[in-house]
Amino acid sequence: MKTLLTKSPRKAAAYIKRSELVAFPTETVYGLGANVYDEKAIEKIFKFKKRPSDNPLIVHISNRQQIEILSESVPPIAKKLISRFFPGPLTIILKKNEIIPDTVTAGLDTIAIRMPSSKIARKFIEECGLPIAAPSANLSGSPSPTTYRHVLEDFKGKIPCILIGPEAKYGLESTVVDCTSGIPAVLRPGVVTLEQLRKVDRRIKLKKGGKLKSPGHSYRHYAPKAKVILSSPKPSPHMKETMTAYMGISAPRNKKTFSLVKQCSNAEDYAKNLFSFFRECDRKGIKIIYAQKVPEKGIGLAIMNRLRKASAR
């Protein structure tokens, strides 16, 4: 299959109408989208990504009215989060409406909803005329794509269309917040920080241990082929603040040695470069990545969450 690269949201949307998959840019990472009501297309997402069927998808919308189609019950706290963070890198979990196929939500009675702030993403969803179910556009387990080239690495010749947009602004996924059971809980830390969420409601907690409510989030994930080793924060003489993060890398001794270092000016820069750095290492055949730990505050919480999953064996 030929993979069309287009900058036209309208051309890309035509594929969705034909039950095909389209990869599209967002401000977090690229998504692999399908018509939310089209079970055949949804099944293709799971098949192409090699994604376990128990891992539900996020449904992307282009306007707030679409929330009512997806869920009948929007509790007051969800309304507050929506008015503060939509459009943007926040995903909320609500009770789902019956019209939504079970394949989308992996059999759960809840649904994940996100309205991207990326203009081209919203234009694309608008052209489709319906909500778009989309996981990140990478093979299951591998680093999420932050440019269309990363999507090509995983899906060239396998999907018919990639909507080309800019490099992802944040480079890390959205924050997933469960709003279905009283006090909201963060199921996956992401770009919107816990500190920002707590300004809306002080009680918002980070979900730890217990029964995982974001099923696909439990195994090794976001991982390059290289082994990822977490190293302690060691501020280098060049860096003024201890918050400064860098990623260092080394290849095994006695072999032709590659060396690649990505030095980042702050945690946001680290987040933005993390996945693309992983992919660059894989392209160069690098075997070991040393990734510096960062304090678990602000976006640092999401960075450490991804690093732990990437380094799990």
Binding site for Mg ion (CB under 5 A): 136
Contact 311, 228 (CB under 8 A): yes
Q: Which of 35, 62, 71, 91 binds ligand TXA (CB under 6 A)?
A: 91
Give the shortest CB-138-to-Mg ion separation in angstroms. 6
Nearest residue by C-beta to Mg ion? Answer: 136
Q: Which stretch binds ligand TXA (CB under 6 A): 76-84, 158-166, 209-217, 295-303?
A: 209-217
Neighbours of 12 (CB within 10 A): 27
Greatest Cα pair distance in the chain: 62
3-state secondary structure of 33: strand
Give the shortest CB-186-to-ligand TXA separation in angstroms. 11
Give the shortest CB-255-to-ligand TXA separation in angstroms. 34
CA distance 57 to 22: 15
Asked if 134 is part of the footprint of ligand TXA (rule: CB under 6 A), the reply reads: yes
Compute the C-alpha angle 64/175/141, nearest 5°.
Answer: 120
Q: For residues 285-299, b (16+ Cβ closer than 10 Å) or e, as one string?
A: ebeebebbbbeeebb
- Phi then psi for 170, rounded to 5 degrees? -100, -35
- Judge if the upstream peptide bond of residue 87 is cis by omega within 30 degrees of 0: yes
Neighbours of 141 (CB within 10 A): 17
The helices-and-strands tally (H runs, E runs) of the chain is 10, 15
Asked if 251 is part of the footprint of ligand TXA (rule: CB under 6 A), the reply reads: no
Asked if 174 is part of the footprint of ligand TXA (rule: CB under 6 A), the reply reads: yes
Asked if 217 is part of the footprint of ligand TXA (rule: CB under 6 A), the reply reads: yes
Residues touching ligand TXA: how many (CB under 6 A)? 29
Contact 296, 245 (CB under 8 A): no
Asked if 176 is part of the footprint of ligand TXA (rule: CB under 6 A), the reply reads: yes
Exposure of 94 by Cβ count < 10 A (0-12 exposed, 13-18 middle, 19+ buried)?
buried
Token pair 């080793």: residue: 229
Give the shortest CB-30-to-Mg ion separation in angstroms. 10
Q: Which of 42, 71, 114, 161 binds ligand TXA (CB under 6 A)?
A: 114
Asked if 108 is part of the footprint of ligand TXA (rule: CB under 6 A), the reply reads: yes
CB nearer Mg ion, residue 176 or residue 251: 176
Asked if 300 is part of the footprint of ligand TXA (rule: CB under 6 A), the reply reads: no
Asked if 147 is part of the footprint of ligand TXA (rule: CB under 6 A), the reply reads: no
Contact 224, 142 (CB under 8 A): yes
Give the shortest CB-235-to-Mg ion separation in angstroms. 32
Q: Which stretch binds ligand TXA (CB under 6 A): 26-34, 71-79, 149-157, 234-242?
A: 26-34
Which residues of the shown chain bind ligand TXA in the complex (CB under 6 A)?
Answer: 26, 28-29, 31, 55-58, 91, 93, 105, 108, 110-112, 114, 134-136, 173-174, 176, 187-188, 213-217
